């Protein structure tokens, strides 16, 4: 198995998978906290203004202009709130898609890890001689070399090589 020697510590595949799971969990926690903060934030009240209401309410042109400026300010605040809300909704949808993708990757990693664990457990229940023979077969040794090195019959070595090839498929 490939391993990385780092500062006196050996990091293998299992440690890498555990680290990846920890990173995914931290990211999901971060996203969850952001969503909770967004949900708890009060929604801004929307105020829409029509041109007819400005024209009807204005008694003099000066009053109409002042009121129109105020109404336009309120309308622009409403539009800014709408733009912010739609941007947040798009970001939330994107984050949900990313979380779903991460969940799928995590499920695939879990399946791979369970498969590897089952493979390792199967190898541990075999006698040491046949375990060594199996490792040699997986490494690509021919049956004659396996039989000579492990002290088993050539037919047994050929059987071990066939078993190793069938497990690779």
Tens-digit pLDDT profile for residues 62-109: 565 667 677 777 777 778 888 888 999 999 999 999 999 999 999 999
Q: Where are the alpha helices (DSSP H) in the chain?
A: 13-40, 51-57, 61-124, 128-139, 143-150, 154-168
CA-to-CA distance for 136 and 130, rounded, in angstroms? 10
Residue 166, C-beta contacts closer than 8 angstroms, at least 6 positions apart:
none
Tens-digit pLDDT profile for residues 6-38: 777 788 888 889 999 999 999 999 999 999 998
Global pTM reads: 0.32
Residue-level length of the chain? 169
């Amino acid at each position: 198995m490939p391993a990385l020697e780092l500062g006196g510590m050996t990091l293998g595949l299992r440690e890498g998978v555990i680290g990846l799971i920890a990173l995914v969990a931290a990211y999901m926690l971060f996203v969850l906290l952001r969503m909770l903060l967004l949900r708890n934030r009060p929604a801004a009240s929307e105020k829409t203004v029509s041109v007819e209401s400005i024209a009807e309410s204005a008694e003099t042109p000066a009053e109409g202009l002042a009121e129109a400026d105020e109404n336009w300010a309120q309308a622009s605040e409403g539009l800014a709130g709408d733009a912010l809300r739609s941007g947040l909704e798009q970001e939330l949808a994107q984050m949900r898609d990313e979380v779903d993708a991460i969940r799928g990757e995590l499920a695939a990693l879990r399946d791979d890890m369970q498969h590897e664990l089952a493979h390792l457990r199967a190898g541990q229940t075999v006698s040491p001689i046949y375990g060594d023979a199996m490792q040699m077969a997986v490494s690509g040794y021919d049956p004659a070399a396996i039989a000579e090195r492990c002290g088993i019959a050539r037919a047994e070595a050929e059987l071990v090589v066939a078993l190793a090839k069938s497990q690779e498929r």
